[in-house]
């Protein structure tokens, strides 16, 4: 490579490495801070207090003052202040307070981490308290001083005021260290502190389209999103729908369809009875479809879709090259190493499979191939009987990996180190989008990102579970053109929201909160649409936007406006969910389909994610996309076989199958499909379709 191209490529590569390494460093810092807090709180139980006894003592003291005639107003104030101070002293220390004490006393681990962090080139909003604290600690570390000098108050939170101003300056120094580290973690989450050479931990302002671009193209973005420039034009119909929804819930409570006492109690849906005709139809299909080997299935789907051509970007040049494509997909999508895959596919050796794995690790090729298989599957007429084309669900599946993987978290169900694969499943079956995520973090950003970036399919409603929902996500999804439909836990604790001063029916007053301020939403309307346009255009991801405007951003005007808008939208959704039984069944159905697809993926992927695959985002994305591609192949093959069987059955009136029965037969069948063993790819049977011009047809027929 000649100059200056070589220098430019090296510079770009080094810059990219710096950005990615900085992201990994800060992600690990956040995890380490969380581990320090969790370790400090281990073994601490919330202190129990006899609040009834304390209340009775307080009442006796106040009663004594009330019945004493010689107590004047000035003395009464003094006595009341004394009683309040005594009662506060009796209040037991909370678990969080005792955890902070443990961190201060065991500050060595905090100090070793913070001494390295203060050297980094931090940037932040003007006069950010974390930057002020870092500026105080850095020279003290360099001078090896372990006592906090008498400086101006550091605004690290009111819970630290007493410790920072206490007479023990060494303890104040330790408290300053702990407070700085905890505040830094929060500031990284909400984007008020950042490092310039980072991709993920950017400032909030860098999430938005540049101000000059927004001012000149503002109206075009409003039109593209289908949003009015006037906030009242958007809010007035929404407020009317929210009020109508509350009235509908009140009517349902009066009719006995829902129960409202101290909370709302939703009557569980009755299970749909098993139709014997459905079981009979499944048996008939199993008999007609018969058994199949995974290589034959892959070849049959490839003959229809030519996903191998998409993977290569051209027609395969030989049978070996074609089999290498399949081997690369299998190695990534079945948790098999190159050596294990070579034992399954005797046509190739381990070296060739390693090469195939490196080539197949391109997530863009895998995603394109998976989309082509999904489109082929949906072209069959029976897909229309399965459900709506604009409805989907999303959920996460955990894959076990090594403890040494820095992105691994403990799966709460299996108690094993795992990574997450977040999948979008269509109501008409099939996987439309796959992305890797970190376990035990909110999944709302990933849910929205999968809809926005999937340009091939239109989604008007996305069903998620509680982890895929936040109030801000509810607002952002609606602004992006679709509805987030969460199946929420603890429905009895969920409230409906109306504007301040709204009239609330007496039967539902206990579950309605009148705290919405439409003026607060209207004041931030342009900035709200600016954020939505930034996500829609790809300037920022939904994951980044919701990370910056999550719970760590409380107090920010834009965050508070988004929360109130999300609460209004949630009120409209929950009111419909409470009173509309067909709508609730529809959402539960599509969520159950997501669980069925996860079960299919677990049948395909039975091992652990290799350490080298789980360390990098692109490698883990290749695992998720390859697994999604294999699952789509199985469903597409089942769909084709079912369609052929139904066509033969429907050719005679006596054996015709009603569409409602077809809609209850899932294409996730794995009975009769051999997913393991020694595989041989009979390419010769499909050579005319897969290798039309390579000159291999004659040789293939002679094998």
Give the span between the Cα atoms of 584 and 577, in whole angstroms. 6
Q: Are 141 and 107 in contact (CB under 8 A)?
A: no
Provide the token pair at 374. 């999904």
Q: Are 375 and 306 in contact (CB under 8 A)?
A: no
Cβ neighbourhood burial of 212 (10 Å; 0-12, 13-18, 19+): exposed
Who contacts 405 (Cβ-Cβ below 8 Å, separation ≥6)? Answer: 417, 419, 609, 611, 614, 615
| Beta-ladder partners of 673 | 292
CB atoms within 10 A of CB 47: 12
Please give the pLDDT value at position 702. Answer: 47
Give the span between the Cα atoms of 405 and 490, in whole angstroms. 34
**Max Cα separation, the chain?**
117
Contacts of 97-104 with C-beta under 8 Å, sequence gap 24+, read 97/159, 98/44, 99/37, 99/40, 99/41, 99/44, 100/40, 100/159, 100/175, 100/178, 102/40, 102/41, 102/44, 103/36, 103/37, 103/40, 103/178, 104/163, 104/171, 104/174, 104/175, 104/178
CA angle centred on 88, ends 84 and 91, rounded to 5°: 145
- Cα–Cα separations (whole angstroms), residue 591 to 285, 328, 595, 597: 25, 31, 7, 10
Angular region, 217: left φ>0, alpha ψ -120 to 50, beta rest: alpha
| Beta-ladder partners of 425 | 393, 431
Q: Is 576 within the bounds of a domain?
A: no
Q: Is 639 within the bounds of a domain?
A: no
Which stretches of the chain drop beneath a pLDDT of 50?
696-703
Q: Is 395 within the bounds of a domain?
A: no
pTM of the prediction?
0.87
Q: How many CA atoms lie within 13 A of 31 on its CB side?
A: 16
For 495, the enclosing helix (H) or strand (E) is: none
- Cα–Cα separations (whole angstroms), residue 691 to 304, 321, 324, 633, 698: 13, 11, 14, 20, 11
At 250-283, the pLDDT tens digits run 999 888 888 888 888 888 888 888 888 888 888 8
- For helices 471-479 and 525-536, give the axis angle rounded to 10 degrees: 70
Please give the pLDDT value at position 633. Answer: 95
Q: What is the 3-state secondary structure (H, E, C) of 282-351?
A: HHHHHHHHCCEEHHHHHHHHHHHHCHHHHHHCCCCCCHHHHHHHHHHHHHHHCCCCHHHHHHHCCCCCHH
Mean of per-residue pLDDT scores for the chain: 88
Q: What is the 3-state secondary structure (H, E, C) of 14-72?
A: HHHHHHHHHHHHHHHHHHHHHHHHHHHHCCCCCCCCCHHHHHHHHHHHHHHHHHCCCCC
Return the DSSP state at 270. P
Give the span between the Cα atoms of 227 and 238, in whole angstroms. 13
Give the span between the Cα atoms of 78 and 676, in whole angstroms. 82
Give the 3-state secondary structure of residue 399. strand
Who contacts 316 (Cβ-Cβ below 8 Å, separation ≥6)? Answer: 308, 309, 322, 325, 690, 691, 694
Q: Is 35 within the bounds of a domain?
A: yes
Give the span between the Cα atoms of 494 and 497, in whole angstroms. 10
Q: Is 316 within the bounds of a domain?
A: no
Rg (CA), the chain: 30
Name the residue among 702, 691, 685 with its Cα closest to residue 300. 685
Give the 3-state secondary structure of residue 275. coil
Q: Are 587 and 487 in contact (CB under 8 A)?
A: yes
Q: Is 176 within the bounds of a domain?
A: yes
**What does residue 398 show for φ and ψ, rounded to 5 degrees?**
-90, 140
- Cα–Cα separations (whole angstroms), residue 551 to 441, 473, 559, 560: 12, 12, 9, 10
For 638, the enclosing helix (H) or strand (E) is: helix 617-650
Please give the pLDDT value at position 50. Answer: 63
Q: Are 37 and 96 in contact (CB under 8 A)?
A: no
Please give the pLDDT value at position 492. Answer: 65
- Cα–Cα separations (whole angstroms), residue 156 to 133, 137, 164: 8, 14, 10
Give the span between the Cα atoms of 569 and 123, in whole angstroms. 36
Please give the pLDDT value at position 695. Answer: 54
Please give the pLDDT value at position 701. Answer: 47
Q: Are 471 and 553 in contact (CB under 8 A)?
A: no
Q: Is 170 within the bounds of a domain?
A: yes
β pairing state of 512-516 and 496-499: parallel
Give the span between the Cα atoms of 201 and 190, in whole angstroms. 9
187: domain range? 5-48+92-203
Name the residue among 205, 200, 223, 147 with its Cα closest to residue 558. 205
Q: Is 152 within the bounds of a domain?
A: yes
Q: How many domains does the chain have?
A: 1
Residue 357 CA to its chain's centroid (Å): 28
Name the residue among 266, 321, 289, 307 with its Cα closest to residue 579. 266
Please give the pLDDT value at position 429. Answer: 95
Give the 3-state secondary structure of residue 582. helix
């Amino acid at each position: 490579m000649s100059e200056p191209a070589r220098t430019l490529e090296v510079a770009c590569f080094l810059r990219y490495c710096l950005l990615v390494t900085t992201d990994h460093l800060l992600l690990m810092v956040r995890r380490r801070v969380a581990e320090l807090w969790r370790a400090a709180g281990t073994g601490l139980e919330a202190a129990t207090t006899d609040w009834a006894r304390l209340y009775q003592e307080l009442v006796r003291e106040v009663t004594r003052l009330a019945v004493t005639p010689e107590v004047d107003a000035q003395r009464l104030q003094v006595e009341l202040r004394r009683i309040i101070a005594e009662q506060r002293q009796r209040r037991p220390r909370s678990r969080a307070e005792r955890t902070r004490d443990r961190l201060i006393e065991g500050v060595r681990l905090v100090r070793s981490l913070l001494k390295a962090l203060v050297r980094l080139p931090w940037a932040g909003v003007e006069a950010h308290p974390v930057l002020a604290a870092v500026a105080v600690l850095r020279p003290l570390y360099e001078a090896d001083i372990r006592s906090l000098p008498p400086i101006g108050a550091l605004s690290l939170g009111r819970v630290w005021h007493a410790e920072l101003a206490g007479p023990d300056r060494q303890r104040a120094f330790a408290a300053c260290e702990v407070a700085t580290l905890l505040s830094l973690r929060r500031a990284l989450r909400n984007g008020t502190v950042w490092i310039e050479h980072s991709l993920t931990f950017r400032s909030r302002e860098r999430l938005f389209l540049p101000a000059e671009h927004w001012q000149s193209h503002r109206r075009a973005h409003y039109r593209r999103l289908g949003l009015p420039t006037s906030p009242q034009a958007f809010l007035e119909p929404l407020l009317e729908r929210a009020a109508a929804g509350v009235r509908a819930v009140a009517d349902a409570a009066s009719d006995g369809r829902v129960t409202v006492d101290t909370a709302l109690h939703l009557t569980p849906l009755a299970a749909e009875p098993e139709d014997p005709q459905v079981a009979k139809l499944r048996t008939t299909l199993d008999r007609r479809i018969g058994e199949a080997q995974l290589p034959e299935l892959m070849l049959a789907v490839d003959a229809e879709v030519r996903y191998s051509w998409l993977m290569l970007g051209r027609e395969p040049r030989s049978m070996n090259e074609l089999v290498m494509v399949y081997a690369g997909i299998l190695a990534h999508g079945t948790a098999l190493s190159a050596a294990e895959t070579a034992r399954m596919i005797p046509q190739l050796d381990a070296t060739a499979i390693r090469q195939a794995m490196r080539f197949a690790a391109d997530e863009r090729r895998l995603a394109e191939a998976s989309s082509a298989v999904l489109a082929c599957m949906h072209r069959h007429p029976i897909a229309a009987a399965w459900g709506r084309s604009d409805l989907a669900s999303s959920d996460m599946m955990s894959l076990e990996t090594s403890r040494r993987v820095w992105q691994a978290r403990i799966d709460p169900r299996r108690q094993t180190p795992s990574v997450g694969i977040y999948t979008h499943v269509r109501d008409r079956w099939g996987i439309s989008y796959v992305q890797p995520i970190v376990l035990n973090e909110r999944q709302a950003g990933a849910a929205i990102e999968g809809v926005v970036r999937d340009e091939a399919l239109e989604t008007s409603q996305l069903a998620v579970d509680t982890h895929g929902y936040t109030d801000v996500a509810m607002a952002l999804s609606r602004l992006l053109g679709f509805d987030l439909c969460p199946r929420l836990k603890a429905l009895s604790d969920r409230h409906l929201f109306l504007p301040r001063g709204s009239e609330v029916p007496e039967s539902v007053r206990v579950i309605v909160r009148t705290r919405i301020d439409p003026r607060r939403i209207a004041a931030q309307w342009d900035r709200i649409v600016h954020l939505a346009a930034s996500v829609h255009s790809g300037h920022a991801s939904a994951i980044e936007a919701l990370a910056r405007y999550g719970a760590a951003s409380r107090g920010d005007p834009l965050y508070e406006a988004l929360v109130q808008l999300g609460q209004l939208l949630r009120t409209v959704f929950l009111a419909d969910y409470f009173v509309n039984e067909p709508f609730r069944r529809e959402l539960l159905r599509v969520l159950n389909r997501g669980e069925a697809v996860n079960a299919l993926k677990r049948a395909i992927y039975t091992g652990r994610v290799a350490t080298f695959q789980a360390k990098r985002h692109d490698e883990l994305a290749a695992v998720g996309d390859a697994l999604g591609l294999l699952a789509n192949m199985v469903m597409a093959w089942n769909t084709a076989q079912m369609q052929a069987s139904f066509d033969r059955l429907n050719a005679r009136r006596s054996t015709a199958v009603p569409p409602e029965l077809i809609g209850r037969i899932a294409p996730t069948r794995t009975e009769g499909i051999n997913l393991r063993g020694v595989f041989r790819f009979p390419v010769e049977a499909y050579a005319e379709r897969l290798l039309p011009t390579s000159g291999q047809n004659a040789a293939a027929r002679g094998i």
